[in-house]
Structure 1
Amino acid sequence: MARIAEDLMLLLLDNPQAQPQLDRSRLGRVLAGGLILDLAYDCRVRPAWAEDAVTPGHLIALEGPMPMDPAVRPALQLLQQRSLTPAAAVAKIGKQAEDDVLDQLLRTGQIHQIGLTEHKFRRNHYRWPVKNRTRLSVTRSELLGALFERRSATPVTAAVIGLLHAVGGFSAVLGLNDAGVEEAGLRAAEIGYGEWVDRSDTAQVNLELTAAAVLPALG
């Protein structure tokens, strides 16, 4: 399940317009980052180490079954072809990340689509209202708790916070004023030091290492 990317998109759609309030460039990058981190949390992607036969720091795919969630498959298949720098992976995956995540949310009945235009030769515009707010409410509560109540972040929440911080996206999901954005940014930096990581959990450690490589490429 593309939990990180999906939670991120649900937060971005949670506004009166039912549309992401990020420009398309930042939206593509942040969702690409979310898909890569989903794969990292599933131990299917990691940064290359010195002993690997590729340039250290490049993202490489790891062996395993094809993911059940189709939203992450294009990202994995891209990295299975060859290793890429985080910036190159984000750029390539970001071209279709929005459509891949929206399609999965539609397939699973978490949002529905309302057409706003009917162009034959240009991209159409839509609204995507959230159908069931239970998951979104939990996601938002965990996000606010970690940022403003100093609650311990779950790995998924920590990843979402890191992604939003990397693209300056807190205002797009929380409607913060300048002081709120500054407070959220300071707390996001603290969380980015890895206070949430269980060092005995390979998946969490891999998520942390991959986030450290990917998040700087989102800016």
Structure 2
Amino acid sequence: MTLIAEDLLLLLLDDGTGKPVVDSTKLPRVLTGAVILELAMDGTVSVAGDNETTKKGRLAVSGARTVSDPILERAVEAIETAKRPMTPKSAVEKLHKDIREQVVARVVERGFVGEEKGTVLGLFPTTTWPALDSSHEDRVRETLHSVLIDGLDPDARTSAVVALLSAIDATHKVFPDADKRAVKNRAKDIAQGEWASDAVRKAVQDVYTAVTVAVMVPVMAGTSGS
């Protein structure tokens, strides 16, 4: 079973060029959001509410967690050992540093993409990840098409992928030939929908907001400094 972060990465890499279709600010943060959301959906992590030992709005780790995936385990350990309980936003910022490399290594290992190194102008090193075996990505894309364009009801996992794509305004990049406004509006409706339990829906909303804010802050900082 692939992680939600792996499915997202495959969707956000151009199959031909192997380059991400979103910028370097958005990609690691949305992958981190996917990891946090996966942990929330399997009950390992929750967003604390009222009358809990962890401060409201912070991430709390379940005492009965059984995480076996290394990428998820690293995230859980970072949340558990933080000096202060993390909010979803602070977790996205603190955990995103190496996440792209971790997820890329996974999809390369699975044989979904290759890894090609080169240079720009003979000076600047570059790496791209063109598709090798797109069968898994095609299935994910077909499921998304049925939900975003055909209007079928999504399952929880598909809704999570849609919410994360919506958070970085990338749904139209996955389906560039579709009606951009209609796809974006459908994605937002799904992101805010009643498809999950209250606890998971709270996590989705908080991660959605955290990723949206996280990708905007560097852009605003760059604009103000220019």
Which range, TM-score by smaller chain?
A: 0.7 to 0.9
Q: 1:9 to 1:123 in 2, by over 3 A?
A: farther
Instruction: Name the counterpart of 1:171.
Output: 172
1:8-67, Cα deviation, whole Å (9 max, x unpaired) = 001111432112111111111111101111111221111012122222111122234553
Give the number of aligned pairs.
208
Q: 1:127 to 1:92 in 2, by over 3 A?
A: same
Instruction: Name the counterpart of 2:30.
Output: 30
Asked if 2 retains the 8 angstrom alpha-carbon contact of 1:30 and 1:163, the reply is: yes
Moved over 3 A (4+): none
1:129-168, Cα deviation, whole Å (9 max, x unpaired) = 2322221111001111111111111211111110111111
Asked if 2 retains the 8 angstrom alpha-carbon contact of 1:3 and 1:156, the reply is: no
Q: Percent identity?
A: 28
Instruction: Name the counterpart of 1:142.
Output: 143
Q: CA deviation at 1:207?
A: 3.3
Instruction: Name the counterpart of 1:202.
Output: none
Q: 1:63 to 1:154 in 2, by over 3 A?
A: same
Q: Gapped runs of 5+ residues in structure 1?
A: 200-204
Instruction: Name the counterpart of 1:117.
Output: 119
Structure 2 CA distance for aligned equivalents of residues 59 and 22 of structure 1: 27
Q: Which amino acid aligns with 2:136?
A: R
Q: CA deviation at 1:172?
A: 3.0
Given the two structures, how large is their TM-score scaled by the length of structure 2? 0.83
Q: CA deviation at 1:183?
A: 0.8
1:216 aligns with 2:209: yes
Instruction: Name the counterpart of 2:103.
Output: 101
Q: 1:38 to 1:77 in 2, by over 3 A?
A: same
Q: 1:52 to 1:70 in 2, by over 3 A?
A: same
Given the two structures, how large is their TM-score scaled by the length of structure 1? 0.85
Q: Gapped runs of 5+ residues in structure 2?
A: 213-226
Asked if 2 retains the 8 angstrom alpha-carbon contact of 1:45 and 1:62, the reply is: yes
